[in-house]
Amino acid sequence: MKIHVNRVPEGGLAERARYNPARLDMERNDIRLREPFDVEAKITKSQRELTVAVEIHCVLHLTCARCLEEFTQAVTPTGIFSYRVLPGDIVDITEDVRQEVMLAYPMTSLCRADCKGLCPTCGQHLNTGTCPHQPEV
Ligand SMILES: [Zn+2]
Ligand SMILES: [Zn+2]
């Protein structure tokens, strides 16, 4: 989203933009973004500062670190960006939006907190079944 400082009125401005993640290099080896995501921005300006408050709506496709199943998770990170500006400047918030989304990535991708993962011996998916290799509970 590019913001023309001169076009932001005194009372501020609300904008929406849709980003195509394929162009933004934001994937991690266990996280993919398969669909465009939306950004809502509230833009205000004072003398020399542009303030952009964003709410981002994004769906992550993750691979569980334990069972390797793919699952989706919606994240809605918010952020407030400030830019020093001069009249006539054009501010591109794309890089800040990108970083905000990546900060919302989970440290470890787990399909559920108690995911039992796969048996290291036979590969049985332990969320859905059992095998003889597990210690008795
Ligand atoms: Zn899992
Ligand atoms: Zn097993």
The domain spans of the chain are 2-103
Separation of CA 77 and ligand 1 centre (Å): 24
- Taking only the tens of pLDDT, the chain with its 137 residues reads 999 999 999 899 999 999 999 989 999 999 999 999 999 999 999 989 999 999 999 999 999 999 999 999 999 999 999 999 999 999 999 999 999 999 999 999 999 999 999 999 999 999 999 999 987 65
Ligand nearest to the CA of 117: 1
* Nearest by Cα to 67 from 15, 124, 20: 124
Distance, CA of 109 to CA of 57 (rounded, Å): 19
Q: Do 51 and 77 touch, CB atoms closer than 8 A?
A: no
Looking at 78-137, list the stretches that DSSP marks H as alpha helix, in order from N- to C-terminal side.
94-103
Looking at the chain, list the stretches that DSSP marks H as alpha helix, in order from N- to C-terminal side.
94-103
Separation of CA 5 and ligand 2 centre (Å): 62
Q: What is the pLDDT of residue 9?
A: 94
Output the pTM of the full model: 0.88
Separation of CA 56 and ligand 1 centre (Å): 26
Q: Do 28 and 15 touch, CB atoms closer than 8 A?
A: no
Residues 6+ apart with CB under 8 A from 15: 1, 3, 40, 41, 43
Distance, CA of 78 to CA of 120 (rounded, Å): 39
Ligand nearest to the CA of 63: 1
Separation of CA 88 and ligand 2 centre (Å): 65
Conformation bin of residue 68: beta by default, left when phi > 0, alpha when psi is -120 to 50? left
Separation of CA 124 and ligand 2 centre (Å): 5
